[in-house]
Amino acid sequence: MTVEIPLVNGTSQYTVEAYSNVAYQATVEFYEKLLQLKSLSASSTLTLFHSDSLSLEVVLKEDAQKQSAADARRKDILNSRDSCDWRSHVSDSIVFNTADIEIISSKLRADSIRYQAFPTELYAMELYTVDPMGNIVGVTKTKNAVSTMPTAPPAAKGSFASTAPSSSQSTVDLSSAVSTAKEYPSLPTKNGNVQKAIAVMTSGGDAPGMNANVRAIVRTAIFKGCRPYVVMEGYEGLVRGGPEYIKEFTWEDVRGWSSEGGTNIGTARCMEFRERAGRLLGAQHLIEAGVDALIVCGGDGSLTGADLFRSEWPSLIKELRETRRISDEQFTRYQHLNICGTVGSIDNDMSTTDATIGAYSSLDRICKAIDYIEATANSHSRAFVVEVMGRNCGWLALMAGIATSADYILIPEKPASSREWQDQMCDIVAKHRARGKRTTIVIVAEGAIAADLTPISPKDVHKVLVDRLGLDTRVTTLGHVQRGGTAVAFDRILATLQGVEAVNAVLDSTPDTPSPLIAINENKIVRKPLVESVRLTKSVAEAIHAKDFKKAMGLRDTEFVEHLNNFMAINSADHNEPKLSHDKRLKIAIVNVGAPAGGINSAVYSMATYCMSQGHRPYAIYNGWSGLARHESVRALDWLSMLGWQSRGGSEIGTNRTTPEEADIGMVAYYFQKYKFDGLIIVGGFEAFVSLHQLERARDNYPAFRIPMVLIPATLSNNVPGTEYSLGTDTALNALMEYCDVIKQSAASTRGRAFVVDVQGGNSGFLATNAALAVGAQVSYVPEEGISLEQLSQDIETLSDSFDKAQGRGRFGKLILKSKNASKVFTPDVLARVITAEANGKFDAKSAIPGHVQQGGLPSPIDRTRGTRLAIRAVGYIEANQEVIREARADEDEFDPDDKTISETAAVLGIKGSHVTFTSIRQLYDFETEVAKRMPKVIHWEGTRAIADHLVGRKKVETD
């Protein structure tokens, strides 16, 4: 069959004809559900769907013969779903562009509608289905179906009828027509007609990142055509009311807030709001200010008060009307109050979310302090007891324990009797000391307790270490240092994305919608029921006070429990009897491939110590594949020699970019056979990805590679297919963010100056895009988009307007981030000179080259703890696949490397959305990778660029 490739003409108006009443109704329902459109008008013979970007008519023209032909065509197409590409059945189809293809695919699955996905269902960029009239209908994430180049729609009207379909394919942008998603990203491309007033307040304890959250809410509200308000001083401002406390904000009012710590709109405890009379005043003041929706950034207490406020709202406004404190018109206008919560808490004590705003900033302070303490402790062979915050949640103590390789932690969720915790701690510390460790670090959560609920203080721990072990011991209480300072990159980005989604949520809310909480699971922004999240959070404290510690642990998120188990496993290393019997113990090798990245050493340390606790024997391949092929650089790892690796940057076992084929894959296989490795863990970037591919493909010729193999992505470029997060990206983001903060301060001090910052990342714009979001850069140029003269001209004009608005005020240093590969012509120096020349004296631009500073020094706590988590998952994967490989190797003559079960034993360990996944290297390399560009085909962070642009008011030039 000859396949005709249709042209793309971008038709945005078309007609679908149906030939029976049943088919007409089915077609209307199909397009209404698929496109999430509301009909502008409807009758028994014509239904019109209309939005800003398209017009669709469904017309009934009774004709039994044509209907019969359409039914037969539809049946024929559906029956061929698994045997051929539907697009080969027709010379044309109609294709829509959508902002979120996941919405469409989930609806198709929910309604059991058959469809085909390309290139794969896992990473679908195009979906095709069949409408009730037998027409092929598609949706795509690209700007048109056969090219990623945008096209301008023609003015002429197109028609798509079932008997005489259009001779060309249509591509229509539906991103503004599709309703706001529950999944991020969900910004529309055009402002809606909503004119709501949205207020934001911060409440409870302050947390780094709150200012970024407020900034995102204010600017997103403006972008969506709403009026933003801030409530000063938390609930106290709500009770006091008036323009002094409930202020309308402008775009410029929140400029530069991302890089400032604390909360600029204030927070305060308010006893009055706990009483109904206080909430009545709060309702009156919101109505007087004309506020329709309230977003609260705070902890569980603040969010509990917010949801109570909403539930009481009907009775509050009724009382206000009866007492004539509001008018009948106001009563009618403000029948409902939409409330949304974003969680700002350094304790990370909110259930249903992996991280709260400020938690990782606080953890960063703790880890830096302990890193400093470790140095002085080592000098004197001392023990240090460090108290950290966490009244009912031991997350900070637990994560700091993992990130700094602490000897022991005390947290409220897992207490023991007074005698037990003392014995356990002394046993572990004594074993560590006996094996040559000179330092002892014990971390105590503020709410640490014994099994009888007796508080455990740092002084109690100090006494035990001195009296029973005779250690020279000091106590350090970090206190409010943990709250201070600016937010780390993760918290700035998290707060920003949650702020954007919070505005989406209140605009989506109806009177019947439960109040949402904006959360993050793994790498995905999601909405959760606020009431349920708060209830679960309070249940933990209640379970602890009831001494039901098993229930308290069960109520914690599974990730918390996983981290706790990981800490206990790597902390025991080879000090206790291994968990596994001799016949299940393995030889597992680990190698670093590619450039250094933060968290690599954490992965190596955690893999090795976990292997020891299980009974496996860990080996390191030093200096990559070239080290192995040339020098047989294989060394068994031991616990003492790895002390301190968890918190070190770089790569302690060495790394380079050489692949096995470049090094001599035959020699690599020889040494694998010599040492009889049972599994391999590779940690690295794209070269590591290619290495895994080469080893998997070589299994047919080299039996030594017929072992489970797994890759842990580690690269600041974050360009490894199969994951949305690579080790080292957070460390690099923090290093680049701190550099940019300093540069921005210089630019602001000089006045009238912008800096062009050169950003690493190869062909990936991930680092530049996320750094721009974290530091509020005015412009970011990435390889995926390049630098057009039209866009550069527009950016210079926007910068000029922005400097005009500054009028000598502070916080007006401007940053332009340019990925190194965004343009070979426009280097940072050239770009700075062009901008200065075109600015006509209004401002000037200088270049700034951070270079390898971007690789970071000490790894961030996120990279340390994720390195640990992923390394232990990788070992588990190798254990789980031993039986599969053993059976396949039983008869080497019958070994089939193309068998799916076998090929899946070589995989990439990644984070996709809200899940940790293993994806076979064959699937990723063959179908989901642009090998020449060293990039995945699907850019998972693409939506972040739109948000980064929107929040600084950047105008994008549409090109043909």
* Sequence ranges of the binding site: 205, 269-270, 299-302, 345-347, 382, 389-391, 446, 474, 480-483, 657, 715-719, 753, 760-762, 846, 852-855, 934
Residue type, 811: R
Provide the 8-state DSSP code for 495.
H
User: How far separated are the first and last CA of the chain, in Å rounded?
Assistant: 33
**137 three-class SS:** strand
CA distance 321 to 332: 10
Q: How many CB atoms lie within 10 A of CB 436?
A: 10
Quote the CA–CA distance of 498 and 487 in Å, as a whole number: 15
Pairing mode, strands 634-636 and 679-684: unpaired
DSSP state for residue 703 in the 8-state scheme: G
Quickly list DSSP for 94-121: EEEE-S-HHHHHHHHHHTT--EEEES-S
d(CA 487, CA 259): 7
**Percentage helix, strand, coil, to 5, in the chain?**
45, 20, 40
342 beta partners: 297, 518
What is d(CA 827, CA 799) in angstroms, rounded to the nearest whole number? 19
Residue 574 a catalytic site member: no
- Which residue's entry shows tokens 């709260």? 356
User: Which DSSP category does 264 fall into?
Assistant: T
Rounded Cα distance, 143 and 436, in Å: 61
Give how far the C-alpha of residue 538 lies from the chain's centroid of Cα atoms, to the nearest Å: 26
813 φ/ψ angles, rounded to the nearest 5 degrees:
-75, 135
- Round to whole Å and give the CA distance between 560 and 413: 10
Dihedral of alpha carbons 883, 884, 886, 887, sign: positive
**Residues facing 383 on adjacent strands:** 440, 473
Of residues 936, 928, 924, the one with CA closest to residue 697:
924
> Which residues are part of a known binding site for substrate?
345-347, 382, 389-391, 446, 474, 480-483
Three-state SS string over 530-541 comes to HHHHHHHHHHHH
Residues placed in the known binding site for ATP: 205, 269-270, 299-302
**Distance of alpha carbon 536 from alpha carbon 542, whole angstroms:** 10
Which helix (H) or strand (E) segment holds residue 899: the answer is none
Query: What distance in Å separates the CA atoms of residue 922 and residue 695, rounded to the nearest whole number?
Result: 11
Question: Per DSSP, what are the bridge partners of residue 759?
Answer: 819
Within 98-196, strands assigned E span 115-118, 126-130, 136-140, 170-173
Give the C-alpha distances (Å, rounded to integers) separating 811 from 439, 749, 773, 807, 940: 44, 9, 16, 11, 32
Contact 613, 570 (CB under 8 A): yes
CA 360 – CA 497 distance, rounded (Å): 16
- Triad 643, 648, 652: Cα angle to 5°: 75
Catalytic residue of the set 100, 292, 347, 678: 347
By three-state DSSP, how is residue 485 classified? coil
Catalytic residues: 347
